[in-house]
Amino acid sequence: MPEQQTRSRPAAPRTPAGRHRVTAALTAAAPALGAYAAVRAVGLLVLHLWASAAGKDAVHLLGGRWDSVWYQRIAEHGYGYTATLPDGSLHPDLAFFPLLPALERALAELTPLTVRDAGLLVAWTAGLLAAWGMYAVGARLHGRRTGVLLAALWGVYPTAFVQSMAYTETLFTALAAWALYAVLRDRWIVAGALCVAAGLTRPSAAALVAALGVSAVAVLVREYRTAGGDGLLRRNRRMLAGVCVAPLGWLGHVVFVAVRESSPFAYFEVQAQWGNSIDGGRALAAFVVGLPLPAALGLCAALGLLAWLVFLCVRQRQPLPVLVYGLAIVVVSLIGSGYFGSRPRLMMPAFPLLLPPAVALAGPRTAVRAAVTVTVLALGSAAYGAWTLLGSGPP
């Protein structure tokens, strides 16, 4: 009798090997990766055609100008270069974080690629990883269709052309998306490690650190209210470890600059030399006031749309780490005194802002509307990207 009972039981499911889990996850994310790759391919095709008509090299436009050149110089020669502008102001390369140039140098040494081409490969690969991470976040919160559309909408963002440049936006967004996904799955050590890497990529990693910190505080407060303080820290030791590790990447670069320049505030002094400091939004207000009336009204309309997206994110009741991260990226991008034209690019990693429209387009009866919307946005983004890259100013 016991033998019959044993035989009648269903076999316990076996835990798949790690690579099988990755393969299954990649297969599930394939539609999102395909959609993202398709819209970015449209952008690259339009840029190639437009650049060819203008007698310019599209690859050079993507990998050989503006910030890309600074990263490549660091990859080839290390830190220590300072540019002197015609007005006498100084721009030290210490303002740039080290992870992208480190990856560029490693790829250039291990492969036949040039440093420029290595930077493009990192950016394009990181773009796919970012799309995968966004899909994972969107699918976990609202289903697979939302995850696919979230990745696609990020690929048609107005300044999505930067995702195809040898810049840090795709690398940072990939790390941020997967860090948030790790938090949603209570894998705080993984989230903290990814946050360290993000902190070696861009200063906006402070938003990601804030997201982890605020979420951890909320967990501790909630558990304290329900279960008291006995064993509270012990039960949450992995979460606390992840939060403590999270800022080390950003702090590491700040300390490196401080030691190199023999000043505890050297990093902030370097940023000030580049015109990047926190002014609470005064520079933004002055920029708007100084515009001609039609342009000022258009910019105010864009800022109103941004505020509406923020409101929708709050009303959507996004999980706290996702919400805090998105809002913090927006705030950091708006309260600085830097070059205004870069602000849309600086906000691009705030992909949670795209969750409300992704959910709206993911309904069972909105497939045609979603396809038309993404197609129109892809063409508009491609045209704007080519026009910007063929211009004289940095994005």
- Quote the pLDDT of residue 5: 39
Q: Is the Cβ–Cβ distance between 223 and 172 less than 8 Å?
A: no
Q: Which helix (H) or strand (E) holds 266?
A: helix 266-273
pLDDT > 70 fraction of the chain, expressed in percent and rounded: 95
Q: Which helix (H) or strand (E) holds 91?
A: strand 90-92
With H, G, I as helix, E, B as strand and everything else as coil, classify residue 319: coil
What's the pTM value of the predicted model, to 2 decimals? 0.93
For residue 215, the one-letter residue type is S
334 vs 9: which has the higher pLDDT: 334
Q: Which of 86-90, 134-138, 275-279, 281-285 has the highest mean pLDDT?
A: 134-138
Per-residue pLDDT tens over the stretch 294-304: 888 998 999 99
- pLDDT of 292 > 50? The answer is yes
Question: Please, what's the b/e burial string for 181-211 (b: 16 or more CB within 10 A of its CB; e: otherwise)?
Answer: bbbbeebbebbbbbbbbbbbbbbbbbbbbbb
- Quote the pLDDT of residue 15: 52
Task: Classify residue 269 by burial, with Cβ atoms within 10 Å: 0-12, 13-18, 19+.
Answer: middle
**Residue ranges per domain, the chain?**
51-389
Give the Cα separation of 307 and 310 in Å (integer): 5
pLDDT > 90 fraction of the chain, expressed in percent and rounded: 77
Query: Which residues contact residue 312 at a Cβ distance below 8 angstroms, ignoring those fewer than 6 apart?
Result: 356
Given the DSSP bridges, would you call strands 90-92 and 82-84 parallel, antiparallel or unpaired?
antiparallel
Q: How far is CA 120 from CA 87, 112, 377, in A?
A: 32, 14, 24
- Quote the pLDDT of residue 17: 64
With H, G, I as helix, E, B as strand and everything else as coil, classify residue 112: coil
- Quote the pLDDT of residue 6: 36
For residue 143, the one-letter residue type is G
Give the Cα separation of 251 and 111 in Å (integer): 31
Give the Cα separation of 334 and 355 in Å (integer): 21
